[in-house]
């Protein structure tokens, strides 16, 4: 029988549906019980309930990574939604972000102070989950991984104790929680460093397929000498004919270069040669403040079934880029809605001596591809095409992955070394000896030394 002394909800309750809702419908959450926690007391009650009944504890906020989450069938799911949102300390250049807060709220709170946060391409993603899983920021080539900018973490551990960890307070747990794959407790707040940013140049430019080979080649050549002040992505997009999509992007595949430049000269060095190849069908690159940056990738805000794949690539050269275009562009029959090469390098490739378990990505590019079976192709067709792309890019696959980019349980993942996995496991054994949160730890299906 349900325990009426806890705020938990059970299948069939409206509160259960709210607590278990996910952004990626490919991985629906179906735990034994769930709650939307609005206080530390709620979190403690759920932990106590789970512990007393032999359930595990799982945590999510927005469910953007739900497709890669293991089953929750015998678990209690906690969805933190702590009131208060964001507190900005402009003098220290720090934001204290409470659990459940999306990046949009952090960006909007910091911008009036001339400050920006190390967020990704979607403002609807939960800031804390993104940070704890490394975070490939839109400013990443200049700043490094977002997790390296965490100053402190507040979390409730398996014993129900609310702890604050930092470089000075339990540095071992502070190290593990930053990129260690989760399963260490319920994080209630994070302090993250901000940086000055007022006059940025950011946006996305789209070209019709007739210019694809030239645009992609010029972009790739530029990545080999790109300044750290500019972070970009290249996307092949084959978008459906939907009213919310600009008409000029619905006429077959287009190629897109999107990103952020911290200097106008960096943006000009990138964009002038690309615009000289041919006029974009849509070009939103412009001078802006940090509040405009979360919208430049035009990631969908509404939930959907997103099925895809991810790899971290060594330099694929023009040979690898050409192979990707053949498999995903015009005439390929690809069911993938979007294929992306995210530019890495710069400080993202450098180990941070003060960083956590995941402090850098040793790769030239991150590949992501995704399809939506409600719009094009079946699940099997999308997965099959992802496998074809994986095989074509295999010669440049580093064997590693970035945690936030993995789309499914059947997809390889390996963000830590064997030594890193063992070190994080030692911390888990100390703070959660009964394994209450073990199911919430990100599984490593492929490992590398």
DSSP helix, strand, coil percent of the chain (3-state; round to 5)? 35, 25, 45
Over the chain, what is the mean pLDDT?
93
CATH classification of the domain holding 111: 3.30.465.10
The percentage of residues in the chain with a pLDDT greater than 70, rounded to a whole number, is: 97
pLDDT at 1 over 60: no
Measure CA 96 to chain center: 20
Residues of the domain holding 310? 200-405
CATH classification of the domain holding 49: 3.30.43
Query: Average pLDDT, stretch 329-343?
Result: 96
Residues 241 and 273 in one domain: yes
Q: Which of 39, 61, 80 is the last residue of a domain?
A: 80
Tally Cβ neighbours within 10 Å of residue 160: 14
Q: Which of 65, 80, 95 is the last residue of a domain?
A: 80
Query: How far apart are the C-alpha atoms of 197 and 276, rounded to whole Å?
Result: 29
Can you tell me whether residue 190 is helix, strand or coil?
A: strand
Q: Which of 45, 80, 115 is the last residue of a domain?
A: 80
| Count of the separate structural domains present in the chain | 3
Residues 146 and 50 in one domain: no
Tell me what pLDDT residue 446 has: 36
Residues 139 and 257 in one domain: no
Angle at 222 between CA 219 and CA 227, to 5 degrees: 130
> Is 448 inside any structural domain?
no
Residues 153 and 290 in one domain: no
Residues 32 and 46 in one domain: yes
Residues 148 and 56 in one domain: no
Query: Average pLDDT, stretch 114-138?
Result: 95
> Is 1 inside any structural domain?
no
Q: What are the pLDDT digits (tens) for 389-431?
A: 999 999 999 999 999 999 888 898 899 999 999 999 999 999 9
Q: Is the torsion defined by CA of 260, 264, 269, 273 positive or negative?
A: positive
Q: Which two tokens stand for residue 321?
A: 């880029």
pLDDT-based confidence at 268, cuts 50/70/90?
Answer: very high
Query: How far apart are the C-alpha atoms of 72 and 76, rounded to whole Å?
Result: 8
pLDDT-based confidence at 2, cuts 50/70/90?
Answer: very low
- Looking at per-residue pLDDT, the higher value among 258 and 243 belongs to 258
Tell me what pLDDT residue 444 has: 65
> Is 31 inside any structural domain?
yes
Residues 243 and 367 in one domain: yes
> Is 444 inside any structural domain?
no
Contacts of 253 (CB under 8 A, 6+ apart): 209, 212, 236, 237, 238, 328, 329, 330
Measuring CA to CA, which residue among 138, 155, 146, 158 is closest to residue 190? 155
> Is 40 inside any structural domain?
yes
Q: Indicate the pairing of strand 56-59 with strand 115-116.
A: unpaired
> Is 101 inside any structural domain?
yes
pLDDT-based confidence at 3, cuts 50/70/90?
Answer: very low
pLDDT-based confidence at 130, cuts 50/70/90?
Answer: very high
Range scoring the smallest mean pLDDT among 92-101, 236-245, 334-343, 363-372: 236-245
Query: Average pLDDT, stretch 375-401?
Result: 96
Residues 294 and 190 in one domain: no
pTM across the whole model: 0.94
> Is 5 inside any structural domain?
no
Distance in angstroms between the alpha carbons of the first and the last residue of the chain: 47
Residues 187 and 74 in one domain: no
Residues 53 and 124 in one domain: no
pLDDT at 65 over 90: no
Can you tell me whether residue 275 is helix, strand or coil?
A: helix
Residues 379 and 238 in one domain: yes
> Is 127 inside any structural domain?
yes
Query: How far apart are the C-alpha atoms of 428 and 134, rounded to whole Å?
Result: 18
CATH classification of the domain holding 252: 3.40.462.20
Q: What are the pLDDT digits (tens) for 141-153?
A: 999 999 999 999 9
Residues 127 and 186 in one domain: yes
Q: What are the pLDDT digits (tens) for 165-206?
A: 999 999 999 999 999 999 999 999 999 999 999 889 999 999
């Amino acid at each position: 029988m349900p325990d009426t002394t806890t705020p938990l909800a059970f299948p069939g309750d409206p509160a259960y549906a709210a607590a278990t809702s996910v952004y990626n419908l490919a991985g629906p959450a179906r735990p034994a019980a769930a709650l939307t926690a609005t206080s530390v007391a709620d979190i403690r009650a759920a932990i106590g309930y789970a512990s007393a009944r032999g359930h595990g504890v799982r945590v999510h906020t927005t469910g953007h990574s739900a497709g890669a989450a293991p089953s929750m069938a015998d678990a209690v799911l906690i969805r933190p939604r702590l009131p208060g949102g964001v507190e900005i300390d402009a003098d220290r250049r720090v934001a204290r972000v409470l659990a459940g807060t999306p990046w949009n709220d952090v960006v909007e709170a910091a911008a009036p102070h001339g400050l920006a946060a190390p967020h990704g391409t979607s403002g609807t993603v939960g800031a804390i989950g993104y940070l704890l899983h490394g975070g490939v920021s839109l400013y990443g080539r200049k700043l490094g991984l977002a997790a390296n900018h965490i100053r402190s973490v507040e979390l409730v551990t398996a014993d129900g104790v609310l702890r604050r960890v930092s470089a000075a307070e339990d540095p071992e747990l502070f190290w593990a929680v930053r990129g260690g794959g989760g399963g260490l407790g319920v994080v209630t707040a994070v302090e993250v460093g901000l940086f000055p940013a007022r006059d940025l140049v950011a946006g996305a430019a789209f070209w019709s397929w007739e210019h694809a080979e030239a645009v992609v080649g010029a972009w790739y050549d530029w990545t080999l000498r790109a300044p750290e002040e500019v972070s970009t992505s290249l996307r092949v997009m084959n978008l459906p004919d939907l009213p919310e999509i600009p008409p000029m992007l619905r006429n077959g595949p287009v190629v897109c270069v999107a990103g952020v430049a911290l200097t106008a000269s960096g943006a000009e060095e990138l964009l002038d040669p690309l615009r000289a190849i041919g006029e974009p069908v849509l070009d939103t690159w412009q001078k802006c403040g940090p509040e405009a940056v979360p919208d430049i990738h035009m990631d969908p805000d509404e939930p959907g079934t997103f099925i895809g794949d991810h790899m971290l690539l060594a330099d694929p050269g023009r040979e690898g880029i050409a192979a990707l275009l053949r498999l995903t562009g015009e005439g390929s029959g690809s069911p993938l809605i979007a294929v992306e090469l995210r530019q890495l390098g710069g400080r993202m490739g450098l180990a941070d001596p003060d960083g956590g378990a995941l402090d850098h990505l040793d790769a030239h590019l991150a590949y992501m591809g995704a399809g939506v079976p409600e719009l094009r192709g079946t699940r099997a067709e999308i997965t099959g095409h992802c496998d074809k792309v994986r095989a074509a890019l295999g010669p440049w696959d580093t064997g590693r992955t970035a945690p936030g980019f993995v789309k499914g349980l059947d997809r390889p993942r390996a963000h830590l070394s064997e030594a890193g996995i063992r070190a994080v496991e030692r911390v888990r054994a100390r703070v959660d000896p009964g394994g209450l949160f073990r199911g919430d730890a990100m599984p490593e299906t492929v490992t590398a030394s």
